[in-house]
Copies of this chain bind each other. A is one copy, B any other.
């Protein structure tokens, strides 16, 4: 191999999805290994609407590991980044030792440059760290030629990142071992399993950033006796129920359990001392709206779930999307016009009956919701083959467009 080729970086670009839990993860039994106190189950959102893109480059000429997030260089020594880098390099080394020289062994000693961007604003309050660490681990594995189970490494970057390693419906099995080797994500059903399922992210106009989930769940584990009870005695049964609801595509069962589990998670936040509030008045009103809407029809057509922030994620079926979006627009009259209010998958316009509006009977909250992202369940991480999409140039530095 000529010298100049040896200096040219080895570049890989991948994308990874956001996921939204319907059985919630809250609380670690081991902070360092990120081992949860209960299993959880999520839906992977489609990357057409929400994704992280990460380029990883290795080169003999790089002096040190470096990372750029959303255009800004960040501290590579962050312990969770270091965990992922260390684990991937360890697996690559193991693979090399197991298989002889099948892998380009020089690459292992090279430093990496990492560049990552989200196609959605951080303001959306979506768990970007899950997509981010999933994408990082997936990209690093590609560049270092590591294959097989990677969710255990993604987990060490950000707990819920392990669920973003698969598409569709994914469970994170808490595991029992102290070393965390059995705390892994598994696909329950692929994204093709339930094509009628639609997802709406209602981005609330949040006043201020809520308390971070890492410190929040630490305080909850230390102070909430309801969280302990939930993890030990409630979640195991709910995991079985939710898995079954997904397998059967039983929307009412899926929807009701998702709502109950979201509420119980926020209940444990309130039982934390000092209490943590992630739901604000807009969230409360979305919850009321969903229950009033379902009550109007006498069946569960729509469900909400909330993570560690005020934004609702709505689940519904294809045939109800148009009307429900119109209901949201009616009760949360937007600041911006209708076209920009709905991003992502197209939603048609519908006229609402006066009867429906009156039956719901809530007060309007103008500007309570900034915009809606309309999406579906989607696939897991992917490799981007088109080299023009790399975020790092052949000099190993972020391209100007980033």
Chain A residues proximal to chain B, CB less than 8 Å: 207-208, 225-226, 229-230, 233-234, 256, 259-260, 263-264, 266-268, 270-275, 277, 280-281, 284, 287, 291, 363
Say yes or no: B281 contacts A226, CB within 8 Å. Answer: no
Q: List 12 A-B contacts (CB under 8 A).
A: A226-B226, A226-B229, A229-B229, A256-B273, A260-B271, A263-B271, A263-B272, A263-B273, A267-B270, A267-B271, A277-B287, A280-B281
> Is the CB–CB distance between A270 and B277 below 8 Å?
no
A280: B residues at CB distance < 8 A: 281, 284
Q: Considering the chains assembled together, what is the distance between the CA atoms of A287 and B271 in angstroms?
A: 13
Least Cβ–Cβ distance between A338 and chain B, in angstroms = 27
A208 to B268, CA, bound (A): 26
The answer to whether B284 and A277 have CB atoms under 8 Å apart is: yes
Measured in the bound complex, the distance between the Cα atoms of B224 and A271 in whole Å is 14
Please tell me if the beta carbons of B263 and A270 are within 8 angstroms of each other in the complex.
yes
Q: Which residues of B contact A226 (CB under 8 A)?
A: 226, 229-230, 234, 264, 267, 271
A165 to chain B, nearest CB (A): 31
Q: What is the oligomeric copy number?
A: 2
For A259, give the chain B residue with the smallest CB separation. B273
Q: A282's closest neighbor in chain B, by CB? A: B281
A225-B234, A226-B226 known; A287-B264 Cβ under 8 A: no
Q: Contact check, B270 vs A266: say whether CB atoms are below 8 A apart.
A: yes
* Inter-subunit contact B273/A260 (CB<8 Å): yes
Closest to A281 in B: B281
Measured between C-beta atoms, what is the minimum distance from A241 to chain B in Å? Answer: 13
Cα(A133)–Cα(B270), bound, Å: 32
Residues of B close to A225: CB separation below 8 A = 233-234
Kindly report which residue of chain B lies nearest to residue A263, judged by CB atoms.
Answer: B275
Query: How far, in angstroms, from A106 to B226 measured CA to CA in the complex?
Result: 56
B residues within 8 A CB of A256?
273
CA distance A256 to B270 in the complex (A): 14
Q: Check if B277 sits within 8 Å of A271, measured CB to CB.
A: no
* Cα-based distance from A280 to B234 in the complex (angstroms): 28
Q: How far is the CA of A271 from the CA of B277 in the complex (A)?
A: 14
Q: Which of B281, B291, B363 contacts A274 (CB 8 A)?
A: B291
Instruction: List residues of chain B with CB within 8 A of the CB of A234.
Output: 225-226
Q: Nearest 3 A-B pairs (CB), nearest first?
A: A267-B267, A267-B271, A267-B270
- State the Cβ distance, A314 to closest chain B Cβ, in Å: 15
In the complex, the answer to whether A264 meets B271 with C-beta atoms within 8 Å is yes
Complex CA gap A263/B223 in Å reads: 12
Q: How far is the CA of A291 from the CA of B234 in the complex (A)?
A: 30
A213: shortest Cβ distance to chain B, in Å? Answer: 18
* 9 further A-B pairs in the complex, CB-CB below 8 A; given A226-B271, A274-B287: A207-B363, A208-B363, A226-B264, A259-B273, A263-B275, A264-B270, A264-B271, A267-B270, A281-B281
CA distance A332 to B233 in the complex (A): 41
